[in-house]
Structure 1
């Protein structure tokens, strides 16, 4: 009959505890992050911080007018990115932003950065592949071989149009946008009511 752990030598028990501790440590240890992953996390954090700032009623109204108003507003892009995330098409915004950042890259780093963007978003079966036609994909590949500020222009334009003609229209009818409009409407009504109360108090106090 087995007498249990009590009969095991102390050295065996210590080894077992050490192994358990190491396994626990490995499970909890985060994977090393690449520079790109860190940069992406920073941008995500910045976008989340921007999203926490409630847009003004005027901003929201402008977003209804055109997609360009959404894209020219930092908080507009953050809100729209949240919508794209819900549709599993966030890679389109990520690619567009990457292209914008690429244009500001030091010319000496064009070649390296262009290849990174191409491998991340453009080539077939890329981790975050965007929806481009074969001709644009091939043209972009050739451009990357001779990297310059405009080498992603056509691909970026195509993805912008895709977001504008497709995702943006659904965004305007989404629960996310309707809730935002309702929130702004309620906020505006509260401000109006507060102002009316203050005016009434002033009149009463002056009587």
Structure 2
């Protein structure tokens, strides 16, 4: 039995997920150059800086997830985040009927060969899912979700931190200022954002 604080956290997580899922559309309906580098003006640089502390920290913020997804769209790999979010939502389903329906949906969209948003997972993980899909459990996508998570964290996230999309949100600098090292506190800049003379 879940205690009240765990139930509240689950509810907040589901709320964040549904908010993001409504905001994020299918990549098929988004032109690759459409809104890929615009930064929402309501995100404070201080908040965005927290996303740079760790990938886990970024995932706590719906704006962070949305901004990271926008970056993934520029790399044509937004299906990774969409799949991870779908798995998170899947794990929160309590109804067996809904579980089966959602499992089939995830499988046809992200897993099966030639799926519209097929994620890059190894053959044995894919085969395990194929075997369990007719009687899915809450953990049937766990291995695939973990692999996709690892790929985003090790491969995409470091590139995101040095991308124009992230730098604009944290510093509001033009792409030409992308050389600024976000984490360095010893780096001194003058008011115009240019390196100060030493």
Aligned to 2:83: 95
Aligned to 2:187: none
Higher helix share goes to which structure? 1
Q: State how far apart, in whole Å, the 1-side matches of 2:125 and 2:69 are.
A: 24
Tell me the alpha carbon deviations over residues 61-109 of structure 1, each in whole angstroms, 9 at most, x when there is no partner.
Answer: 2211101111121110010010001111111111011111111222222
Q: State how far apart, in whole Å, the 2-side matches of 1:53 and 1:44 are.
A: 18
Q: Does 1:42 align with 2:22?
A: yes
Q: Does 1:151 align with 2:140?
A: yes
Q: State how far apart, in whole Å, the 2-side matches of 1:80 and 1:98 are.
A: 16
Q: State how far apart, in whole Å, the 2-side matches of 1:160 and 1:55 are.
A: 24
Aligned to 2:124: 135
Report the number of matched residues.
142
Please list every run of 5 or more consecutive structure 1 residues that lacks an aligned counterpart in the other structure. 1-39, 185-207
Q: In structure 2, which of residues 69, 82, 104 is the aligned counterpart of residue 81 of structure 1?
A: 69
Q: Does 1:125 align with 2:105?
A: no
Segments of 4+ in structure 1 off by > 3 A? 40-43
Aligned to 1:58: 46
Cα RMSD (Å): 2.4
Larger radius of gyration: 1
Q: State how far apart, in whole Å, the 1-side matches of 2:166 and 2:59 are.
A: 15
Q: Provide closer, same or farther for how the CA distance between residues 141 and 53 of structure 1 changes in structure 2, counting only shifts above 3 A.
A: farther
Q: Does 1:107 align with 2:87?
A: no
Aligned to 2:150: 161
Q: Provide closer, same or farther for how the CA distance between residues 155 and 138 of structure 1 changes in structure 2, counting only shifts above 3 A.
A: same
Give the TM-score of the pair, scaled to structure 1: 0.63
Please list every run of 5 or more consecutive structure 2 residues that lacks an aligned counterpart in the other structure. 1-19, 26-34, 174-198
The alpha-carbon deviation at position 144 of structure 1 amounts to: 1.6
Q: In structure 2, which of residues 41, 55, 64 is the aligned counterpart of residue 67 of structure 1?
A: 55
Aligned to 2:165: 176
Give the TM-score of the pair, scaled to structure 2: 0.65
C-alpha contact 2:45 2:171 (8 A) present in aligned 1: no
